[in-house]
C-alpha cells in the first residue's frame, strides 16, 4: 500500500507533542488520526462499533455485499482529498466506472437523469406540463421583483415550474425527506442543483439530446471489500490506537485539557454526531442541548436483494420517485460497481429508503419490497437467493427552516469550548466522504498551527 500524500508536515524539533482523543472511527476520525500521527502526535481513536468505517461500512451477506449507508461511490472535485483516498487504498485496488443512472418512471418507462434532460422521453401530456410550467416559471423569474423563495416547495415551483414539480420533484423529495416540503429550506439545494438553461429544456422536450451536468460522469469503487475497503485502508496503520467497541460515555474539562471516559487528553477532536456528542459532554447548557436535539435528520435502511444470475441492467443506480414503486427512493446495482460485490455468476441490488423515528424494515418488509419489484418488472422473486438489510440512524441532514439557528446555538457553542469538530454529522454538513477528508486535511493544518503557537 502506498503512503497517502498530504501536505501536513511533522512539527519542527522541540515542538510540544500533544495527546489527542479522536471521537469516532469513520472516515473523518481516521483521516484526522492518520495526519496527526504522521505529524508526531499521540492519538487514541474511540469507536463505539466493533468495526471502523462509520457510514462507509459494508456488510457481507454470504458473499453479497451491501454498503450500509446506501451505495457509495468515490469521486471528487477536491484533488488533495481524492489523492489521499486513492493513495490510501492503492489505485490498483479500484474499479473505474462510468456513471449510468435512470429514473424509473410510470408504466415502466425509463427516463434520463437529471430529469430535465429526460423530459423528451415522457408521455406527451407530462412533457407538455413540464415544458409549459418551466417556461412560465422562467418568465416569472425575469420579473423585476422575482426572488428565490426560502422554502424548498416554492423554490421548486420558482425554478422548475408546476410540471417538473408534479411529475418528479415533489414525489421524489417527499419520499426522501418525509417532511412537508414547505418546512424544508431551499438553502441545501444551492450549488447542488445547477440551473438548466431554458434552451436545454426546450431541446430536451422536443427530443434533442442534452446531457446536463457531468461532474459525476465517472467514479471509482474498491475491487473487493465494498466501500469499506477504503476506510479499512485508511485505518490499517492505526490499528494499535483504535479502541473499537469503546463508546465515548463522558467528556469533561480537566484543567487545561479533557478527560474522555477515564483518560486524560490535551485536545478532543469530535467526529461523532453532534446530538450524541452533546449527550456525553459534561456541563452543556440546557438551551444548547435542546438546540442540538432539535436538529432534524433522517435514518436510512439499505436492503439487499441477491439474485442467482448476473443478467441485470447496465445501470449504476436508478431513482424510483413514486409511492406505488415501493418505499425506496433509489436502487443501486451494487454488483455493477465491482464483480467482487456478489458471488460469481450472481448479481445484487440494493434498495435505500429513509425513515424518521423507528425502523420500519424487517424481513416481512423486505419480502413486500421484493414483491413490489416483481410487480413493476425489476426482478423475478424466484431468482432471489439472499435478502438482508442494515440501518443507520444518522444518514440525511434535514435542512428545515430554522436549521442554521439551531446549528449556531449548538455547534457554535461547542466550537467556542476549544473542541475541534469535523465530519458529516459532527458539523451537520452535507458532506460526502471526500469532503470529510478535505475538511479533516484542513482541520489538521489548523490544529498543527494552533499547537505550534502553543
Ligand X SMILES: Cc1cc2nc3c(=O)[nH]c(=O)nc-3n(C[C@H](O)[C@H](O)[C@H](O)COP(=O)(O)OP(=O)(O)OC[C@H]3O[C@@H](n4cnc5c(N)ncnc54)[C@H](O)[C@@H]3O)c2cc1C
Which residues of this chain interact with ligand X, rule CB under 6 A? 23-29, 46-49, 54-56, 69-70, 72-73, 247-248, 271-272, 276, 300, 352, 395-396, 423-425, 431-434, 436
3-state helix, strand, coil in the chain (%, to 5): 40, 25, 35
Nearer to ligand X, 24 or 120 (CB): 24
Cβ at position 326, least distance to ligand X in Å: 17
CA–CA gap between residue 84 and residue 307 (Å, rounded): 35
Cβ at position 23, least distance to ligand X in Å: 6
Cβ at position 26, least distance to ligand X in Å: 2
Handedness of CA 275, 276, 277, 278 (dihedral sign): positive
- In 3D, which of 78, 85, 73, 75 has the Cα closest to residue 4? 85
Q: What is the separation of C-alpha 100 from the centre of its chain, rounded to a whole number of angstroms?
A: 19
Cβ at position 414, least distance to ligand X in Å: 15
CA–CA gap between residue 305 and residue 429 (Å, rounded): 31
Q: Which residue has the cell 456528542?
A: 277
E strand residue ranges, 378-444: 384-397, 420-421
Is there a contact between 448 and 333 (Cβ–Cβ < 8 Å)? no
Nearer to ligand X, 121 or 439 (CB): 439
Nearer to ligand X, 271 or 409 (CB): 271
**101-104: strand order across its sheet:** 110-112, 101-104, 317-319, 330-332, 347-355, 297-307, 384-397
The CA-atom distances, in angstroms, between 7 and each of 57, 231, 444 are 27, 20, 10
E strand residue ranges, 99-145: 101-104, 110-112
Nearer to ligand X, 97 or 106 (CB): 97
Cβ at position 22, least distance to ligand X in Å: 10
Cβ at position 125, least distance to ligand X in Å: 33
Cβ at position 405, least distance to ligand X in Å: 23
C-alpha cell at 448: 498543527
Nearer to ligand X, 99 or 141 (CB): 99
Counting every residue, how long is the chain? 454
Nearer to ligand X, 68 or 129 (CB): 68
CA–CA gap between residue 354 and residue 172 (Å, rounded): 12
Nearer to ligand X, 340 or 343 (CB): 340
Nearer to ligand X, 395 or 411 (CB): 395
Cβ at position 28, least distance to ligand X in Å: 3
Amino acid at each position: 500500500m502506498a503512503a497517502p500524500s498530504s501536505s501536513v508536515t511533522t512539527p519542527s524539533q522541540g515542538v510540544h507533542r500533544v495527546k489527542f482523543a479522536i471521537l469516532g472511527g469513520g472516515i473523518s476520525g481516521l483521516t484526522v488520526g492518520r495526519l496527526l500521527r504522521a505529524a508526531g502526535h499521540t492519538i487514541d481513536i474511540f469507536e463505539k462499533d466493533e468495526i471502523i468505517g462509520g457510514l462507509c461500512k459494508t456488510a457481507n451477506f454470504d458473499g453479497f455485499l451491501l454498503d450500509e449507508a446506501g451505495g457509495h461511490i468515490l469521486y471528487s472535485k477536491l484533488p488533495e482529498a481524492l489523492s489521499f483516498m486513492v493513495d490510501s487504498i492503492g489505485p490498483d485496488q479500484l474499479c473505474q466506472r462510468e456513471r449510468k443512472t435512470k429514473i424509473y418512471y410510470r408504466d415502466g418507462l425509463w427516463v434520463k437523469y437529471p430529469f430535465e434532460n429526460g423530459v423528451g422521453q415522457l408521455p406527451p401530456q407530462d412533457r407538455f406540463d413540464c415544458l409549459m410550467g418551466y417556461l412560465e416559471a422562467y418568465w416569472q423569474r425575469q420579473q423585476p421583483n422575482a426572488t428565490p423563495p426560502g422554502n424548498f416547495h416554492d423554490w421548486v415551483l420558482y425554478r422548475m415550474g408546476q410540471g417538473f414539480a408534479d411529475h418528479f420533484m415533489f414525489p421524489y423529495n417527499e419520499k426522501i425527506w418525509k417532511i412537508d416540503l414547505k418546512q424544508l429550506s431551499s438553502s441545501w439545494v444551492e450549488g447542488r442543483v445547477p440551473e438548466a438553461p431554458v434552451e436545454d429544456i426546450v431541446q430536451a422536450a422536443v427530443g434533442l439530446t442534452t446531457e446536463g451536468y457531468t461532474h459525476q460522469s465517472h467514479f471509482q469503487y474498491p475491487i473487493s471489500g465494498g466501500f469499506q475497503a477504503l476506510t479499512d485502508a485508511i485505518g490499517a496503520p492505526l490499528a494499535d490506537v483504535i479502541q473499537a467497541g469503546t463508546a465515548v460515555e463522558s467528556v469533561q474539562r480537566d484543567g487545561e485539557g479533557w478527560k474522555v471516559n477515564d483518560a486524560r487528553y490535551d485536545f478532543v477532536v469530535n467526529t461523532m454526531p453532534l446530538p450524541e456528542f452533546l449527550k456525553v459532554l459534561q456541563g452543556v447548557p440546557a438551551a444548547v442541548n435542546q438546540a442540538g436535539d432539535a436538529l432534524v435528520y433522517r435514518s436510512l435502511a439499505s436492503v439487499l436483494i441477491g439474485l442467482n444470475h448476473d443478467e441485470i441492467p447496465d445501470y449504476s443506480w436508478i431513482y424510483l420517485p413514486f409511492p406505488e414503486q415501493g418505499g425506496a427512493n433509489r436502487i443501486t446495482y451494487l454488483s455493477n460497481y465491482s464483480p467482487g460485490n456478489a458471488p460469481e455468476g450472481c448479481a445484487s441490488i440494493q434498495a435505500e429508503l429513509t425513515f424518521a423515528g423507528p425502523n420500519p424494515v424487517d424481513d416481512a418488509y423486505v419480502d413486500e419490497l421484493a414483491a413490489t419489484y416483481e410487480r413493476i418488472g425489476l426482478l423475478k422473486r424466484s431468482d432471489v437467493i439472499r435478502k438482508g438489510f442494515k440501518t443507520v440512524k444518522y444518514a440525511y441532514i434535514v435542512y428545515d427552516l430554522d436549521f442554521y439557528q439551531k446549528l449556531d446555538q449548538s455547534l457554535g457553542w461547542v466550537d467556542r469550548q476549544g473542541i475541534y469538530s469535523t465530519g458529516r454529522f459532527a458539523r451537520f454538513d452535507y458532506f460526502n466522504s471526500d469532503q470529510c477528508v478535505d475538511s479533516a486535511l484542513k482541520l489538521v493544518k489548523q490544529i498543527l498551527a494552533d499547537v505550534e503557537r502553543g
